[in-house]
Amino acid sequence: MIVSIASGKGGTGKTTIAVNMALSLKDVQLLDCDVEEPNAHLLLHPKINKVKPVYVSTPQINEELCDHCGKCSEFCEYNALFVSSEKVLVFPELCHSCGGCMIVCPKKAITERKRKIGTVKMGVAGDIELVYGELKVSEPMPVPVIKEVKKQIKDYKTVIIDSPPGTSCPVIESVYKSDYCILAAEPTPFGLHDLRITVQVLEKIKIPFGVVINRAEIGDRKVYEYCKEKGIPILLEIPFQRRIAELYSRGISFTAEMPEWKVRFQKLFDEIKECVNR
Amino acid sequence: MCKPLKQIVVVSGKGGTGKTTITASFAALAQDIVVVDCDVDASDLHLLLHPQIIQTIEFKGSKLAVMDKTKCAECGLCKDACRFDAINDNFEVNPFLCEGCGVCVVVCPKGALHLAERVSGYAFISKTKYGTMSHARLNPGEANSGKLVTLVRHNARQIAEKEKCNLILIDGPPGIGCPVIASVSGVDVGLVVTEPTMSGIHDLKRVLRLLDHFQIPSLVCINKYDINRKNSEKIMKFCEKTDVKVAGKLSFNPVVTEAMVNGKTVVEYSPESMVSHEIKRLWEALLHV
């Protein structure tokens, strides 16, 4: 089973939930798909045993064959190619690696070269298998790195996916094909606003979901009212406790110090399993 | 009047460190600025600034392949050529996977596919009591947030020119990817809001590297510095070592959330609180860079 954790707003506790849930269950593979700012490893302190580079393909022009007809730049929807009368300029950061320019070039002057945009790291932390990606700083596109992280999925395990904040393409890529999605929400106006948008995304891609409220009691009751109105289950509430916040700040997951929470995460997981199997 | 235009962006790497709270307070403290929300997929600034929309602009960020089943011979060429696995076994286009590249269109021998423009969001120009605001809303699940950010910033510069305003204040998105790069490119100063947690520190380092890559001078603000003073010390030391100025430290105060619940900026909701004074000092420091 694959369970992802998402939230439109950042800092609502996605990683806290993902890591603590992983620590409470058996036979878990945890994927950190927030490749722009991966944090799960900071709480799990894994032993890394494999590092894999992530490459994307970008066009390479053979100027001897090229007659500067401009068909490639005309075709490219991402403006990654510029053709002047003497030269073709390639902007690799804009390229989506679709391969279309090679297809449309009448002179067969375009080939592809590999460009490294990040890495995938694999390791273990206790019983947990951790996979996380790191987008190279200054590279704009996280999606190919997320895809590479997700290629490592072992579906005979309990797979937990920590996704990036937001509601756009990297989030879709991360939660895509999960059996269930946990939405981390904060009971504040910002939390509610961003939860509403995330719910729209999940409804569109048809993944069942429930909410975990983090820092319960810090704001108002509107998130609860919204969930009730929409019939969205509230799976768990994590209170705002100085101790939990302080443990997190030191890079310690709170279930390690407060084992009574493991039972709650197991219950949460059982509930999800029941919902998925129904 | 002849002061050159200055653009300040607030970023953080990690989400939820307080970018929007701080930006909103800055907007309330400043006079005659253009405020910009570049977090186009989960924008929250409007919840504190209450903009009144005066102009809405359709955003057509990417295209989508559309299949005409009556012409399709089910040869499978499109499916093989698509690198995004966006065409399924029934020769239907999955809009969530399609990146609108047009490869399927050129390989189809029957002319069964074409690219259609899709409206993936809206950009807005609004009035607030603090100044004109440029913001946007990407439709849930859409791609190309970087392009929409570029549009929002273009609108902001046009407004600034028209209103002869010399300061643009930008609330940036979390992360370091395309919408962040689009938010920071060409700005004069980047303020990085961090928190004294292991994740906060890790993410701070990455976003500072990003700003450095684009040669943007950066300043750091440690939010909720008192929740872990030891980590705050670490951040101070790191910044000293790397020659980045810590422009301010803000204390943890529940009044910040209270202000948000009331839809107000902290400096207006609780002007005499310690955190409001700290934000004012931070804003002064930022203006004098």
How crowded is residue A207: how many other Cβ atoms within 10 Å of its Cβ?
18
Partnered with residue A31 across adjacent β-strands are: A131, A161
Query: What would you report as the CA-atom Rg of chain A, rounded to the nearest whole angstrom?
Result: 22
Instruction: Point out the domain boundary residue: B70, B88, B118.
Output: B118
Q: How many domains does chain B have?
A: 2
* B84: containing domain: 62-118
Is residue A12 classed exposed, middle or buried when 0-12, 13-18 and 19+ CB atoms within 10 A define those classes?
A: buried
Contact in structure between A99 and B106 (CB atoms under 8 Å): no
List domains and CATH numbers for chain A: 2-54+124-277 (3.40.50.300), 63-108 (3.30.70.20)
Kindly give the parts of chain A with pLDDT less than 50: none
Give a yes or no: residue B34 inside a domain: yes
Query: What is the model's pLDDT at position B13?
Result: 96
**Are residue B90 and residue B130 in the same domain, yes or no?**
no
CATH number of residue B29's parent domain:
3.40.50.300
Contact in structure between A245 and B227 (CB atoms under 8 Å): yes
ipTM of the complex: 0.94
Give a yes or no: residue B243 inside a domain: yes
Nearest to B23 by CA among B274, B266, B248, B273: B266
**Are residue B173 and residue B88 in the same domain, yes or no?**
no
Whether B2 shows a pLDDT value over 70: the answer reads no
B contacts of A246 (beta carbons < 8 Å)? 227-228
Percentage of the residues of chain B whose pLDDT score is greater than 90: 93
- Cα–Cα distance measured from residue A260 to residue A258, given in angstroms and rounded to the nearest whole number: 6
What pLDDT digit, counting tens, does each position of B28-78 carry?
999 789 999 999 999 999 999 999 999 999 999 889 999 999 999 999 999
**Are residue B75 and residue B47 in the same domain, yes or no?**
no
Contact in structure between A125 and A45 (CB atoms under 8 Å): yes
pTM of the predicted model, to two decimals? 0.95
What pLDDT digit, counting tens, does each position of B150-209 carry?
999 999 999 999 999 999 999 999 999 999 999 999 999 999 999 999 999 999 999 999
- Smallest Cβ distance to B199: which of A39, A172, A189? A39
Model confidence at B1, pLDDT cuts 50, 70, 90, reads: very low
Contact in structure between A15 and A4 (CB atoms under 8 Å): no
Query: What is the model's pLDDT at position B142?
Result: 86
Contact in structure between B43 and B174 (CB atoms under 8 Å): no
Whether B115 shows a pLDDT value over 80: the answer reads yes
Mutate to test the interface with A, among B22, B139, B176 (most CBs of A within 10 A): B176
Give a yes or no: residue B1 inside a domain: no
Backbone angles phi, psi at B259, to 5 degrees: -60, -45
Q: Apex CA B277: angle with CA B133 and CA B172, to 5°?
A: 35
Query: What is the model's pLDDT at position B52?
Result: 98
The residue-averaged pLDDT of B221-239 equals: 97
Give a yes or no: residue B28 inside a domain: yes
- Smallest Cβ distance to A205: which of B14, B96, B213? B96
Model confidence at B241, pLDDT cuts 50, 70, 90, reads: very high
Instruction: Answer whether B44 sits within 8 Å of A190, measured CB to CB.
Output: yes
